[in-house]
A and B are shown apart, each in its own frame.
Chain A
Amino acid sequence: KQEVTQIPAALSVPEGENLVLNCSFTDSAIYNLQWFRQDPGKGLTSLLLIQSSQREQTSGRLNASLDKSSGRSTLYIAASQPGDSATYLCAVRLREETSGSRLTFGEGTQLTVNP
């Protein structure tokens, strides 16, 4: 059974800092990995999707990396802003045909960026 772990569970940083959020998964036979953010009381917003054949993806101040063999992904946020405050979730899709296309989620990292 795929398990996804996110460390740290919570993180508080001053505005302007660069930061890294970590995601690890137990089954390396993934199809892809997706990072989301969730604001309080809201749904999930897709940030980045990394295919298993890719090493990283970038979108603006966000950079996500994937090391499939070690079962790890990181989300790097540059020059953090108070508006980045949210819960960040990573989710993986297994290659198993029988599991279909379900995403398995981590518990999330709650990020607070202080002005």
Chain B
Amino acid sequence: GAGVSQSPSNKVTEKGKDVELRCDPISGHTALYWYRQSLGQGLEFLIYFQGNSAPDKSGLPSDRFSAERTGGSVSTLTIQRTQQEDSAVYLCASSLQVNTEAFFGQGTRLTVV
């Protein structure tokens, strides 16, 4: 596709369950970012991948959060043992190279009940 694609667009899960969120970046983009946007709050950086370099995981809020990027393309953000405070919109972005224009997907709205 032409843009960043995220799936699912909406996810409702029970507290304590694990969830996986998927991001398909723009083809050829080497950098991929995950952000979280909680209700009424700004965007919070979670994790950043650049090519084959070690990811910058410094924004992950707890060890329940992890992400991987396979083959330098698709990325999956996994949240284990979900809590209600994990409810938010999770946004993925990609850019052609480091420090170039970032393009965002439509996000996954996660609701933990």
Chain A: residues with CB nearer than 8 A to chain B?
A: 31-32, 34, 36, 41-46, 49, 89, 91, 93, 99-108
4 nearest interchain CB pairs? A44-B104, A43-B106, A105-B43, A43-B104
Chain B, residue nearest A45 (CB): B104
Complex formed: what's the CA distance from A53 to B73 in Å?
31
B99 near A101: Cβ-Cβ < 8 Å? yes
B48 near A101: Cβ-Cβ < 8 Å? yes
Q: Chain B contact residues: over half helix, strand or loop, or mixed? A: strand
Which of B35, B59, B99 counts the most A-chain CB atoms under 10 A from its CB? B99
**B31 touches which one: A34, A49, A101, A105 (CB < 8 A)?**
A101
Residues of B within 8 A of A108 (CB): 42
Question: Nearest chain A CB to B31's CB is how many angstroms away?
Answer: 6
A103-B42 CB under 8 A given contacts A43-B91, A43-B107, A44-B91: no
Question: Nearest chain A CB to B79's CB is how many angstroms away?
Answer: 19
Question: Nearest chain A CB to B17's CB is how many angstroms away?
Answer: 24
Any chain A CB within 8 A of the CB of B63?
A: no
Question: Mind listing 8 A-B residue pairs with CB under 8 Å?
Answer: A43-B6, A43-B104, A43-B106, A46-B103, A99-B56, A102-B33, A103-B102, A106-B42
B50 near A100: Cβ-Cβ < 8 Å? yes
Complex formed: what's the CA distance from A45 to B93 in Å?
11
